[in-house]
Chains A and B, each alone.
Chain A
Amino acid sequence: MADTMMGDDSTLLDRQAVVDSIPLIIPAIPFGFVLGLAMTESQMPLWAASLTSPLLFAGAAQLAMVTIAGTASLWAVISAVLVINSRHVMYSAAMAPTFRAQPGWFRWLGPWVLIDQVFALGSLQAARPPESFRRYYVTVGLMFFSFWNVAVPLGMVVGPIVPTGWRLDYAPAVMFAGLTLMAINRVPAAVAAIVGGFASLAAAGLRDRLGIIIGAVAGVVAGAIAEQARAIEPEPTA
């Protein structure tokens, strides 16, 4: 059978992708509910707020949008969303070499779901053969996309039903701490992460999560310097 969206073992979904996604979906449940509730209280028309889930598919940006809609100018709403999502440019840059080996339809559709979690999991699997990577990415993307488009509308109806005492609000930080460590496989990567983390901390007081961008850029620059130093190192000095 011709393998279009099917993997080489004839299954549509990648088992490891399912297992990897679940511990990242659980922490997103309360946020989805909170966002759903915020949509019902927003000054944005409910149809438009609802469409942010499939179209923007970006929790923090969606929350900013529905929260300030009606109270801020149109330009302020748009710029808040775009500033928050601007880190995705870096995901696109980092994923570009991996997507080069992929068919056109996937290069166009894949980025739609290139959110934090999908990038974090996908980049850990970038060394897989193209077809295997694609199956993994599609599985993770589908799982997050369908989960989000169920959790948020559910939040509109049920509200924040997960008890705050469970501290699931902190689970995303916990998971991304783990994902960061898993992404460090070489010395320059460690340098990039350490500098990125500290720069983000120094800039944490800035609005619209600008600290993430500042930290990321600082980390990438530091990583590049470390790459350079390593490239020079083995050369004989005599």
Chain B
Amino acid sequence: MSHSTALLALAVTFVGTYAFRGGLILALAERHLPTSVERALRNVGPAVLAALTVSLAVGGGDDVDLTFAEFAALAAAAGVAWWRKNLVWTLIAGMTTLWIVAAIA
């Protein structure tokens, strides 16, 4: 890849990525959307995070799989997050479960 091609790739992806992240924040700064749309936006977080979690958990493309230990770790993390609302405990519970179940199985 030449220096000029790299610069072009960098510039276009930078502008595009910033536009994705900032576009709607800036466009909607001064105007209000219909109540139904504003209400629907509240569910974007749970929907994207769930979809992202599944993608991270099972992989993507030609390499999709989930071991029992991984499943147990996800369940433990989800349960502890729900119960304690604390991310440090979530990490500890999830990873400890992963190590223990993987060692036993």
Residues of A with Cβ closer than 8 Å to B? 19-20, 22-24, 26-27, 43-45, 48, 51-52, 55-58, 61, 65, 69-70, 74, 77-78, 81-82, 85-97, 99-100, 104, 107-108, 110-112, 114, 116, 119-120, 123, 167-168, 170-184, 186, 188-201, 204-207, 209, 211-220, 222-224, 226-228
Contacts and interface: CB of A to CB of B under 8 A. Distances in A.
B17 A216 contact: no
A207 B61 contact: yes
B58 A174 contact: no
Contact of A23 (B41, B47, B88): B88
Contacts of A88: 17, 20-21
Given A174-B91, A215-B50, A206 B24 contact: no
B102 A167 contact: yes
A111 B15 CA distance: 12
A45 B10 CA distance: 11
A174 to B, nearest CB: 3
Interface of B: 1, 3, 5-10, 12-14, 16-18, 20-30, 36, 38-62, 64, 70, 73-74, 77-82, 85, 87-88, 90-91, 94-95, 98-99, 102
Contacts of A168: 95
Nearest to A219: B47
